[in-house]
Every structure is written in structure tokens, then in C-alpha cells.
Amino acid sequence: MANVASPLQYGDPPRLGPFVVQARLHSAPAGFVYLGQGADGRAVSLAVLTRGAAFDAAARERFVTAMREAAPAGMRGWLGRATKTRAAVLEGAPEVLAMETGTAPWVAVPYAPGRQGAEWFLEPVMVGGTLIGQAHGPDFVPYWLTDRAPALPGQPRGRRPLTETRRRVLLAALALAVLLLLGTVIALLLIMGREDTEPLPRPLPPTNFQPTAPPTPATREPQQPTPSQTPAPSKSGQATPGPSPGEDTGDGSPL
């Protein structure tokens, strides 16, 4: 099988363990094969499952089983998981340099142009039917073939950034609680002090009700009418008015 390198596409992993992914070498229904480079400059062939195959426990187990059977005895995975001890390696399997057997497994083998590389481990993932002697059951299509994105391993958990220690966080929380308590106490004291300084209303004097007799109206005595000094009329008619007292008669008689 000729593996022609092609550029990486969107979604391809930039790294797999200690290897830098450089190009695509092969695309299979169960996964992808990449060309990578190790820290020492060695070219490797890397095989990863598709996301659909990695989510299928049976397909993932077939891939991991093929890696473990081809790995040397006592070889440990990238995250420190040891493989089962075997007396011999499967015939025809490429040499396993590194592997990961987690939820997003991958395997690395030496790369040699024109020779079968890591795609050897993708072949057992696909099942073409139930073989029973010369007859075999019907072929079927896995349900996960439509999910063609590569299964990427999770980011390694790095060391948490140093922000605040637990002791400092507890001290800060305690100081905040004390400040809140002091603020509450001061607010209560201000409210109570304002109530104490306000003058109380003066109580009204007691009311003593003493009944008194109603007032007696003063009666005035009737007065006699004053006689009028108007002269009485004469018998012949109208009376001749005489000189009024103090009136000058004009006769020039001495007083």
C-alpha cells in the first residue's frame, strides 16, 4: 500500500504524545495514519481512531488489543500503563515505539516509505461478518462510520497556576466576614443612637372637669319715655313760632 503524504486538515491533531504530527499518510474507515517526528528526529507512523470508532467500546477494544499483542513484553503506554507480558510478538506486526490505550488510543511505529506502517492496527477494527468455517454471516456497516473526525486525546493536566494558597483564601474569607460583621454592628448603633437622641413629646397635664352653673342673664329695668318739647298747636291752626332762645331779634334793645 502506497502512503502518499498530504497536508494536515482541520481537526487533525498537532501532536500525539511526544511526536509532532506533520502530514497525513492514510485514511481508513476506522481511523487515520499520520506522519510524525520524534524528539530525536526519527520519522514515525501514527495511527488514531475516528471519533465514532473511539466511542464504540468494542471497536476501541479491538484496536487496543492489536496494539498490546504487537507491543514488546513489559512495554508501558504513554501515560504509564503497562502491557501484558508476552513471550513473542505477533508475526508481521510493525515494531511498536509508543502507544496510548485510553479513551482516544493511538500507536506509533517506525516509518519506512513503501512498507506497511501503523495502518496495520486499523485493520482488526473493522468486522466484515461472522466467520463460521467456509460460510460466513452477512456483512454490516458500523453505526459510527459517519463520525469521521479523529479522536483526539484530552489535554494533559498541567500544574495549576499559583494564585492563592488555601490558607490565604481562608484568611481573606475570615477578614471579609469580620468586616461585614463590624459594618452591621456600626449600622445598628447608629440607628439606636438616633432613636435615643430624639426628644420625647411632653405629656399633657391631666384634665380636671368641674361642672359650673350656667350664667344668669342681667335684666334691664324699663325706662320712661322722655316728654317732647315740641310746642302744642294753636286753635286757629298753626302756631306762630317765637324767637328761639339766643336768637337776635334785631330791635337793638339793650339787654
Q: What is the mean pLDDT of residues 241-252?
A: 53
| Domain presence at residue 235 | no
* Residue 248 CA to its chain's centroid (Å): 125
| Domain presence at residue 75 | yes
| Domain presence at residue 141 | no
Question: If pLDDT is split at 50, 70 and 90, which confidence band does 129 have?
Answer: low
C-beta separation of 10 from 27 below 8 A: no
Q: What is the mean pLDDT of the chain?
A: 75
Model confidence at 136: pLDDT above 90: no
C-beta separation of 98 from 78 below 8 A: yes
| Domain presence at residue 103 | yes
Q: What is the mean pLDDT of residues 191-209?
A: 71
Q: What is the pLDDT of residue 83?
A: 47
2/21 Cα distance (integer angstroms): 19
Q: Cite the beta strand spans of 19-81 per DSSP E.
A: 19-27, 31-37, 43-49
C-beta separation of 124 from 65 below 8 A: yes
* pLDDT tens column, 53-98: 899 888 899 999 998 888 876 555 554 444 444 434 456 788 899 9
The count of other CB atoms within 10 Å of the CB of residue 102 is 16
Q: What is the pLDDT of residue 85?
A: 42
| Domain presence at residue 186 | no
> Which grid coordinates are listed for 72?
514488546
Q: What is the mean pLDDT of residues 129-153?
A: 71
Q: What is the mean pLDDT of residues 35-41?
A: 91
> How many domains does the chain divide into?
1
Instruction: Annotate 165-188 with DSSP letters as a single string.
Output: -HHHHHHHHHHHHHHHHHHHHHHH
C-beta separation of 51 from 42 below 8 A: no
Q: What is the pLDDT of residue 70?
A: 85
C-beta separation of 28 from 42 below 8 A: no
CB under 8 Å to 67, separation ≥6 — which residues? 96, 99, 101, 105, 107, 121
37/47 Cα distance (integer angstroms): 13
Tell me the residue range of the domain where 36 lies.
15-127
| Domain presence at residue 244 | no
Which tops the pLDDT comparison, 229 or 164?
A: 229
| Domain presence at residue 97 | yes
Model confidence at 161: pLDDT above 90: no
Question: If pLDDT is split at 50, 70 and 90, which confidence band does 142 have?
Answer: confident
Q: What is the pLDDT of residue 49?
A: 92
Indicate which CATH number applies to the domain containing 81.
3.30.200.20
% residues pLDDT > 70 (the chain): 63
CA nearest to 104, candidates 142, 144, 141, 59: 59
Question: If pLDDT is split at 50, 70 and 90, which confidence band does 137 have?
Answer: low
Model confidence at 6: pLDDT above 80: yes
